[in-house]
Structure 1
Amino acid sequence: MKSSFNLAILVLVAANLYGPVCHWLTVVGVFRAATDIVTTEAQKIHKIEDTMQCEDMHHYQPTGQIFAACEDSLLPRFKWFPPLGNLQGPAQSTGSFHVIDTKTLESRRLTFENFHGPFVTHGLDLVDDPDRQGAIYIYAINHLSNPHYFEKPSAEGVPKAHSQLELFHHVLGSSTVRHVRSISHPLIVTPNDIYAESLHSIYVTNDHFYREGFMRTVEDILPLAKWTNVIHVNVNHIQSNSADTGIDAVVASQGYLNINGLGHGQSQEELLLSSAAGGIMYRARADRSNRTLSVLDEFAFESTIDNPTYYHDPYATPDNDASGYVVGGLLRAVDLRRTHNDPHAQEGVMVWHLRRHFGDTANPEWEKRLLFEDDGSAIRSASTALLLPLEPKDPAAKTAMLFVTGFVSRNIIAVEVPL
């Protein structure tokens, strides 16, 4: 009887694990090959110069420009980048903000004022200056090293990283960006991305529960490790010389597997989240009364995904509306543990487009399509992808310009894709 009971328990556990494990194996690309990948319909791929390792980018619609946070040299990220477990510090590099002309595909680097680094870039978001027309604030992640560790490397329990947020101010059209303040809080541990609801209200994802060590490895390989969270931060003081002054933070939502990117959805109320290792994009809504997030629904993809974006189709018709969500990720994330600190490796990419289905009502409500795929030759890694409309020459054959960037890519790329 006891053996039968134990067998029943084993079968029950296996049944519950089968679905999540199979999905995770698909997402990380265990059964995918990274060879002979053909990019979408052999379109010309444009590589934008001076856009190195720009993990995140945002299209600022009023000016039609793309803002990105990039690194200024290739090698430092392979030694120091806490999100990948690269912790050979201390951090010494200083990245920069870039403004990209989406017509000429040229990048312009902004010069810092009141800031000297280090600046190890990751996620960012933009918010209009409420007091000055033609100006914006930029929130950005900065993965600093912890001086308390590197001054005393034998200090037990002291983490190597001390990641925080930075707030900058930029007058549109100018060549400079001014540092306003730093933001630090005990709940901001492994920050990945930022969603700026307003100048004073932001959301931040923690992509890992453990910063380093054996349990960090367990967290990376265990598909049931839903330990990460989203933090809501009230920035009560815009000007401060102290990183923790005027900062109030709470846990807004938790229980995610490797929560990563945040994005703006199809309305001001819609907030997008992505579970990178889970390959799941969530649509959520904020409850301002109690500073929480409520997940409305979710969509599963067949690869890892990162920073989600929303594409609004200005040429939509009742029968053909390409408006939808765009996410990029890795072709074989399973290789990342081997390649994360190798400057010469390649990580292939997959970019997905999720839109409502038009036509036969018997089909699913949502249509998911692989928009772009590469073996790492054109671009190494994909963390953000966004679409910008192109005027259609043929209403029946709409296209858009796809921009893709990655956390270890050499350039942002742009390629025309069919919709």
Structure 2
Amino acid sequence: MKKRLLLGFGVLVLVLAGFIAKTLADAGQFKHLAPHFAGRCTPVSGMPGAEDITFHPTLGYAYVSSDDRRATLAGRPVQGGIYRLDPASSAPPVLLTGAFKQAFHPHGLTLFVAPDGAQTLFVVNHPEPGQQQVERFQVGADGMLIHHQSLRDPALVSPNDVVAVDAARFYVTNDHHYPPGAMQVVEEYLQLAIGNVLYFDGKGFREVISGTSYANGINRSADGRTVYLAQVVGRSLSVYSRDADSGSLTHRQTLPLGTGPDNIEVDAKGELWIAAHPKLLDFVAHAKDVSGATRAPAQVLRLKSSGDTFEMEEVFLDDGRQTAGSAVAAVSGKWMLLGPVFDPDMLRCELP
């Protein structure tokens, strides 16, 4: 009997050790990182936690989603904002949501520009603990944002990113199945693929993708026929064909990236720029450290596509000294804007 107990205990220890080793390997903790970037970067202050950034397709300026998450973690939340930044100018960023008086803690954002030039922004907002919604803004004649609508639904459990297909319809990712709490932690560490993607058809939300492994960034091709989805824990990019009439998505392929992808931006050439977390547990430690002293590496991938074939290049890698935990890399011409989840400064980079 004693031998059986010892044998059982030994097997349990081996299983647990194997699980821990797999978790560390999946999180990229055994990777050797060699920081590099062929261009040059300078910090831009005034927009802490610039978690998502997108460029206007023709006018050269970017919209930046900013929220001081360190202040929120410390129990002193401050109002977040959407800013406009021209990387080619020395002018400081301009706050566009000063007139928005509701609690505002923005996350992912998306821009739709109509044929007549009218601009609509959808922004994921976490106004209070346990509250989730998507805000719809129009860009006024003075460039300021005019709030038009707050969209709420029980299906918005843990919204992360959003992509518009027109001025009324969009897709939004739920990075978790469970709201913040113990079950969400279990979901993360057991790597449960139970997140989803919702489609808002102008009237209501419905699920269009299920079984995602931390669905994070989402974007689409310029013609609207293809949707791209980043899955952090799945360390992959999924590609879907989109039915323009129904909004339904059909899976075409999944590309393993070997890293934890965050947001996806698509440049004027149709190339994908993906900010990523090569060591996920380093990012978790960085996120939990209110002081910001614990750093996490930052990575940017560029994917060029030819049909369903993708060529991937690592454009930027930093060990956390320049920037930590980058969530987005938005590119327009020679400029790349790199936004962190927590750091007080974002990076304005000139590509080689």
What TM-score, normalized to structure 1?
A: 0.72
Of 219, 235, 238, the match for 1:279: 235
Give 1:232's aligned residue: 199
Q: Displacement, 1:204?
A: 0.8
Structure 1 residues 299 and 214: CA distance shift in structure 2, 3 A: same
C-alpha distance in 2 between matches for 1:105 and 1:271: 35
Contact 1:121 1:142 in 2 (8 A): yes
Give 1:38's aligned residue: 35
The sequence identity of aligned pairs, in percent, is 20
Contact 1:48 1:105 in 2 (8 A): no
Give 1:151's aligned residue: none
Does residue 135 of structure 2 align to residue 166 of structure 1? Answer: yes
Tell me which amino acid in the other structure corresponds to 1:39.
Answer: H
Question: Alignment partner of 2:326: what SS?
Answer: coil
Q: Deviation digits for residues 69-88 of structure 1, max 9, x if unmatched? A: 112x4632434xxxxxxxx6
Question: Alignment partner of 1:339: what SS?
Answer: helix
Q: Displacement, 1:111?
A: 4.1
1:12-411 matches, cutoff 5 A: 25-26=24-25, 28-32=27-31, 37-41=34-38, 43-71=39-67, 73=68, 75-79=70-74, 92-104=77-89, 106-112=91-97, 115-128=100-113, 133-145=116-128, 160-171=129-140, 174-223=142-191, 225-235=192-202, 247-265=203-221, 267-313=223-269, 324-342=271-289, 343-344=291-292, 345-356=294-305, 365-390=309-334, 401-411=335-345
Contact 1:138 1:167 in 2 (8 A): yes
Q: Displacement, 1:278?
A: 1.4
Tell me which amino acid in the other structure corresponds to 2:323.
Answer: I
Structure 1 residues 187 and 356: CA distance shift in structure 2, 3 A: closer
Structure 1 residues 105 and 355: CA distance shift in structure 2, 3 A: farther
Q: Deviation digits for residues 55-80 of structure 1, max 9, x if unmatched? A: 11111112111111112x4632434x
Structure 1 residues 186 and 288: CA distance shift in structure 2, 3 A: farther
C-alpha distance in 1 between matches for 2:25 and 2:267: 26
C-alpha distance in 2 between matches for 1:378 and 1:54: 15
Q: Deviation digits for residues 258-289 of structure 1, max 9, x if unmatched? A: 00111122532111111012111112122245
What 5-or-longer segments of structure 2 have no aligned partner?
1-10
C-alpha distance in 2 between matches for 1:356 and 1:75: 37
Give 2:3's aligned residue: none
Q: Displacement, 1:356?
A: 4.7
C-alpha distance in 2 between matches for 1:196 and 1:179: 16
Question: Alignment partner of 2:183: what SS?
Answer: helix
Contact 1:110 1:175 in 2 (8 A): no
Structure 1 residues 115 and 226: CA distance shift in structure 2, 3 A: same
What TM-score, normalized to structure 2?
A: 0.85
Q: Displacement, 1:96?
A: 1.1
**Max Rg structure:** 1
Tell me which amino acid in the other structure corresponds to 1:28.
Answer: A
Tell me which amino acid in the other structure corresponds to 1:32.
Answer: K
Tell me which amino acid in the other structure corresponds to 2:137.
Answer: F
Contact 1:26 1:303 in 2 (8 A): no
The alignment yields a C-alpha RMSD, in angstroms, of: 2.8
Question: Alignment partner of 1:161: what SS?
Answer: coil
C-alpha distance in 1 between matches for 2:32 and 2:91: 34
Of 316, 335, 347, the match for 1:413: 347
Tell me which amino acid in the other structure corresponds to 1:163.
Answer: Q
Contact 2:297 2:320 in 1 (8 A): yes
State how many pairs are aligned.
Answer: 333
Tell me which amino acid in the other structure corresponds to 1:162.
Answer: Q
Q: Displacement, 1:190?
A: 0.7
Tell me which amino acid in the other structure corresponds to 1:75.
Answer: R
What 5-or-longer segments of structure 1 have no aligned partner?
1-9, 80-87, 146-159, 236-246, 314-322, 358-363, 391-400
Q: Displacement, 1:128?
A: 2.7
Tell me which amino acid in the other structure corresponds to 2:177.
Answer: F
Contact 1:65 1:102 in 2 (8 A): yes
